[in-house]
Amino acid sequence: MSKYIVNSSEEQQEMLDELGCASFAELFRKAGVLGAPQLSIPEGVTEFEAYRDMAALAAENHVFKHVFRGAGSYKHFIPSAVKNIVSRNEFVTAYTPYQAEVSQGILQGIFEYQSMMCELTGMDVSNASVYDGGTAAAEAVMMCVDRKHHKILLSRGINPEYRKVVHTYHQFSDSIEIEEFGTDFEVDSNTAGVFVQYPDFFGNIPDLVKIKEKAGDAKLVVIANPTALGLLEAPGKLGADIVVGEGQQLGMPMSFGGPYLGFMCAKEKLVRQLPGRIVGQTVDKDGKTCYTLTLQAREQHIRREKASSSICSNEALCAFTAAVYLAAVGPKGLYDVADTSFQLAHYLADRLNEIGLSVVNKGEFFNEFVTECPIDSKELMKHLYEKDILGGLLLSNNRILWCATEVNTKEEIDWLVDVIREVL
Amino acid sequence: MSVIFELSKANRRCAVFPDRGVHQYKLSDGHVRKNLELPEVAEVDLVRHYMGLSRKAFGVDNGFYPLGSCTMKYNPKINEEVAALEGFNEIHPLQPASTVKGALKALKQLQDALCDLTGMDAMTLKPAAGAHGEFTGMQIIRKYFVSNGMPERNEVIIPDSAHGTNPASAAMNGLKVVAVKSNENGGVDLESLQAAVGEHTAALMLTNPNTLGLFDENIQEITRIVHEAGGLCYYDGANLNAVMGLVRPGDIGFDVIHLNLHKTFATPHGGGGPGSGPVGCKSFLAKHLPEPVIGENGFENSEDSIGSVRSFYCNFLVCMKALTYIKVMGADGLKLASENAVLNANYLLHKIKDIYDVSYDRVCMHEFVLSLQRLKDETGVSAKDVAKALLDFEIHPPTMYFPLIVHEALMFEPTETESRETLDRCAEVLRHLHGLAYSDPEYFKGVPHSTVVSQCDEVRAARNPVLRYEKDTEASA
Ligand SMILES: Cc1ncc(COP(=O)(O)O)c(C=O)c1O
C-alpha cells in the first residue's frame, strides 16, 4: 500500500464492509458519484525514483556562482540556525492558529514578528503577512481609499513587478483610479495615497520628508526594502502612514520567486483597515498571558463580501522565518548586512564608472544602481553568463541595474570588472 | 514564556557577518538610522526560545488533525528534501530562461498534471493561496465579459454554504454577490438558482463536494442552468481531495477552477501559509490567464491577460513539493487517496452518528458536518465546548461554526492518511464527551484542562488590542 495511506487493502475492505458497501465504487455511488475518468498522469513511482527525477530537474537549472542581480529578489546569507528552527515540524505542519490553546508557539512567533516589523519600519501595527511585496502594495491601496478619496499616485520608482500587480488588482474597481508619476506629483482633493519605494527600484533613496510634505493629507505609503532599514532611517520617522514590502531578504532563498513574504505595517489609526490576520496579546481564564488571532471583524470569514480583502491563508511560515532571521542577526547584524551591501555596491559603482560604465543615479543610493553601457548590454551579459556571473538586470539596450549584497566580495568585484573589460 | 525581546542583552550576537574590507562610503546623516531595537541574543538562546515555542505548537506530525475544509493530511518528508535542493533554492526569478530549463520543465509538468486531474485546458500556478486563486479566477471571468462587450454581467451567484473567501474574492473585483439557498439535501436549490440567474449573471461559484461534505447530485443540471443563462461556472477546489481520479470538474460543466496545493497535494500549511492556489480554465478563457504563462517555449505573455496578480511566477518551492507528491502518487495513488479520504470520513461518521446529529444524513464525501444544536439545547454544552474538550485528548478540533447554515456546526475531515485505530479512538472520545455532556456538563466549563493556556479572552484582545511588544509596558498588563 503506502502512498501515505495507512490502512492496508484488507483493512479498507473491512471498513467498507462495516459501512455496508461491497466496494469503493458502491460507496461513491451512494454518495452520488458515478463513473471515473481516464487520467493520463502516469502511475506512481517510489520515493527513490521521484527524488531522482526531481533532482535531475533541479540539476537542469544553473546556480550562478557570482550574483550581481537584485530587482526584487536578493541573495543574502541565511544563518543555519534560522533554517534549522523554521524546519521544525510543529511549525511546518500546523494549520492557521485558530485553536489558540495548542497554537501559542505559532501565535507568539507571529506576535514577535509583528513587533519586529513595527520596530524596523517605525510603525505601530503589523499584520501577520500577505502573499508578497506586490500584493502588499495592492492591498495598501484599499487602506487609503474611502468615499471621498479614490485616486492613488504610484511612483515609477516602484518595482515594475509591483506596479503591474497594483494595476491588475484594481482594474475592475468602479471608483479607484491609479496614476503613475515620474519625478514629481500633484495631489488634489481626491488623492487617497502617494506610493513610493524606499530605496526605489533603481536604488535611489527618496527624500520621504519632502514627499510627505507634498502629499499633504493623502497617505504616504512606503514600499520599503527591510534589509535597507538596518542602515536607513525608519520610514515611520519620516512621515510614512503605511509601510509595506517584500520580506524575502529576511531569511528566504531566492527560490525562483517564491514563497516570499508580503509585510504590511501602519500607523495605529489604520489598524482596522489592515487586511489579513493579526495576532494580539491577551490573558486566559487564569489571567496568564496568551496570544490569539484578533480584530477578526475585518476579515472575510465574518464580513464576507464586505471584507476589503479575501486573504485567508497567508505566508505565516515566511513571516516566522523573517522573525527568526531578525532575532538571529540582531540590530548589529542587520546593520552589517545593510552597510556591507551599501559599501560593496558603491565600490562596484566606482569601479564600473572607471571602465566606462557610467553610473546614472544622481543622488544617494543603497545597494542597487544603474549604469549606461557603452556596448550592447545583451552581448555583455552573455559574456558574463559564460563566466558564471549573473550580471545586473537589463533595463534597456544600454542600461543595467546592478546589485551587491554582503555575499559578494571586493575581490569578486575586481574580477568582475576585469571580465567586463575583456569585451569593452 | 518570555517574548524574545525580553531575552535581549546588549552586544550578544548570533549571526556574525564577514568584513569585506570596504568602509570608505558614507551615507548622508539625514538618511542614517539612529536606533533599531531588535533582540540581541546568542545562538543557543535563540534556539532554546524557539524550541520552547515549538513545544507549544501542534501540527499534523503531532497528532490527528481533522480540521474540516483544510485537508490536513500527512506531509511527506521527501517533499521538503526536494524543495531544499540547491538547484531550486538558489535560482533568481529573473535569470535567463536558458539557465532555468529544469524549473520551467517542472512547472510545466505540474500544470499538465493538474489540467489532467481537473479536466481543464490551461493552468496558471501564480496564485499564492486558495483565496488568491479565487481572486484570479474572478478576474478572468470579469475580463472575459468586459472584453466581450458584456460588462453588465456583473453578478456572481454563491450558495449560502460557501466559504467567506468566495464572496470576498468576487466583491474585490466589483462583482455583486447573489446568495442562493441550499435545499433539504444540502445541495443547491434548483428553483432558487433558476430564479437567481439572468442577464446579469457572470458566474456561479461552487464548492463541490460542498462545504457540508456532500456531492451535489444535480451538478450537471446546475452547470447547465448557469450556462443556459449565459454565465460561467467556477469551481472552488478546496475539496478536490474527495474526487481525484473520480470526477473532473471540467467534465461536469465547470469553466474555471482553483486548487489548493497546501490541502489536496500534501504541501505543509506552515501555520497559515505559504500555500499555492493554481487556477485552471477552459481553452476559451486561457488567453486571460495572468502573465506570464508557461507554454511550450518557456514564459509567454498574452495581450488579453488580466495582468499580474503577484510578483514573479508562483510559490515555486510549494509547487516543487506538490509535483513530487504527484509523481509518487501517480494516477492510481491519487485515486486511492480520494477513495480512502471518503472511506475514512464515512467510517468516522458511522461510528458516532447514532448519538450525534449529522447536518444532512447522507453518505458523505471526504468530510461531514455535525450539528450540536440538540446537544446544546439539552445540556448547554456547545460545539465549541466539545471542540475544545478534544484538545485534552490530543485531537485537534474540527472546524467550528462553518458552514454558517448549520447551527452549532462541527466539520470533520479525517483525510486518507489516518489509520482505523485513530478514527476508532476519535469516535470513542467523541462518544465519551457526548456522555459527559449529559452526566457532567460542568466538566466543559474549564475545557481544555491540559493545555498551556485555556480560554483566551478574545473579547479583551479585540477591545484593547495589544499587537506588538513594547518595552515599557508590562507584558501581561
Ligand atoms: C472552501 C474553501 N474555499 C476557499 C478557502 C481559502 O483557501 P486559502 O486559505 O488557501 O486562501 C478555504 C480555506 O480554508 C476553503 O475551505
Residue A180: which CATH number? 3.40.640.10
Distance A354 CA to ligand 1 centre (A): 55
Question: What's the CATH fold of domain B78-325?
Answer: Aspartate Aminotransferase; domain 2 (3.40.640)
- What is the rounded distance in angstroms from the CA atom of residue B84 to the CA atom of residue A46? 19
Which residue in this structure is represented by grid cell 498522469? Answer: A41
In this complex, is the C-beta atom of B153 within 8 Å of any C-beta atom belonging to chain A? no
Task: Give the residue from chain A lying closest to B456, CA to CA.
Answer: A284
Do A283 and A338 share a domain, yes or no? Answer: no
What own/partner pairs with CB < 8 Å and gap ≥ 24 does B19-26 have? B19/A340, B20/A340, B20/A343, B20/A344, B20/A406, B20/A408, B20/A409, B20/A410, B21/A410, B22/A340, B22/A343, B22/A344, B22/A346, B22/A347, B22/A410, B23/A343, B24/A343, B25/A342, B25/A343, B25/A346, B25/A347
Mean pLDDT computed over A141-155? 97
In this complex, is the C-beta atom of A80 within 8 Å of any C-beta atom belonging to chain B? no
Domain span at residue A400 reads 66-76+330-423
Number of domains forming the structure of chain A? 2
Do A174 and A226 share a domain, yes or no? Answer: yes
Do A164 and A277 share a domain, yes or no? Answer: yes
Distance B131 CA to ligand 1 centre (A): 6
Please give the class, per CATH, of domain B332-441: alpha beta
Q: Which residue among A37, A61, A67 places its CB closest to the CB of B100?
A: A61
Task: Give the residue from chain A lying closest to B387, CA to CA.
Answer: A99
And the C-alpha cell for A353? Answer: 564608472
End-to-end CA gap in chain B: 15
Does the bond joining B274 to the residue before it have cis omega, within 30 degrees of 0?
yes
Does A43 reside within a domain? no
Higher per-residue pLDDT: A36 or B14: B14
Instruction: Point out the ligand 1 atom lying closest to the alpha carbon of residue A313.
Output: 9
Q: At what angle do helices B316-352 and A24-31 cross, to 10 degrees?
A: 90
Do A346 and A260 share a domain, yes or no? Answer: no
Q: Strand, coil or helix: what is B122?
A: strand
Q: Is B260 in the pocket of ligand 1 (CB under 6 A)?
A: yes
Q: Of A273, A297, A325, which residue is a domain's last?
A: A325
Does A157 reside within a domain? yes
pLDDT at B272: 97
Does A132 reside within a domain? yes
Q: Is B211 in the pocket of ligand 1 (CB under 6 A)?
A: yes
Residues of B in contact with A11 (CB under 8 A): 420
Do A321 and A338 share a domain, yes or no? Answer: no
pLDDT at B297: 75
Pairwise CB contact (< 8 Å): A311 & B132:
yes
- Kindly list the domain boundaries of chain B, sorted by start residue: 1-19+34-56+452-477, 78-325, 332-441
Helix (H) or strand (E) holding B281: strand B279-281
pLDDT at A297: 85
- What is the rounded distance in angstroms from the CA atom of residue A334 to the CA atom of residue A321? 15
Do A284 and A344 share a domain, yes or no? Answer: no
Q: Of A325, A348, A374, which residue is a domain's last?
A: A325
Q: Of A325, A350, A381, which residue is a domain's last?
A: A325
Do A349 and A304 share a domain, yes or no? Answer: no
Does A220 reside within a domain? yes
In this complex, is the C-beta atom of B262 within 8 Å of any C-beta atom belonging to chain A? yes
Residues of chain B with pLDDT under 70: 473-477
For residue A200, the one-letter residue type is: D
- As a whole number, the mean pLDDT across chain A is 97
Asked if residue B48 lies in contact with residue A385, where contact means CB atoms within 8 angstroms, the answer is no
In this complex, is the C-beta atom of A258 within 8 Å of any C-beta atom belonging to chain B? yes
Q: What is the ipTM of this complex?
A: 0.98
Q: Is B180 in the pocket of ligand 1 (CB under 6 A)?
A: no
- What is the rounded distance in angstroms from the CA atom of residue B341 to the CA atom of residue B243? 9
Do A70 and A152 share a domain, yes or no? Answer: no
Do A385 and A319 share a domain, yes or no? Answer: no
Q: Is B236 in the pocket of ligand 1 (CB under 6 A)?
A: yes
In this complex, is the C-beta atom of A362 within 8 Å of any C-beta atom belonging to chain B? no
Residue A342 pLDDT > 70, yes or no?
A: yes
For residue A246, the one-letter residue type is: E
Does A9 reside within a domain? no
Do A334 and A389 share a domain, yes or no? Answer: yes
Does A19 reside within a domain? no
pLDDT at B476: 43
pLDDT at B475: 45
Mean pLDDT computed over A374-381? 94
Task: Tell me whether the CATH fold assigned to B78-325 matches the one assigned to B332-441.
Answer: no
Do A70 and A91 share a domain, yes or no? Answer: no
Distance B342 CA to ligand 1 centre (A): 19
Do A207 and A343 share a domain, yes or no? Answer: no
Q: Is B240 in the pocket of ligand 1 (CB under 6 A)?
A: no
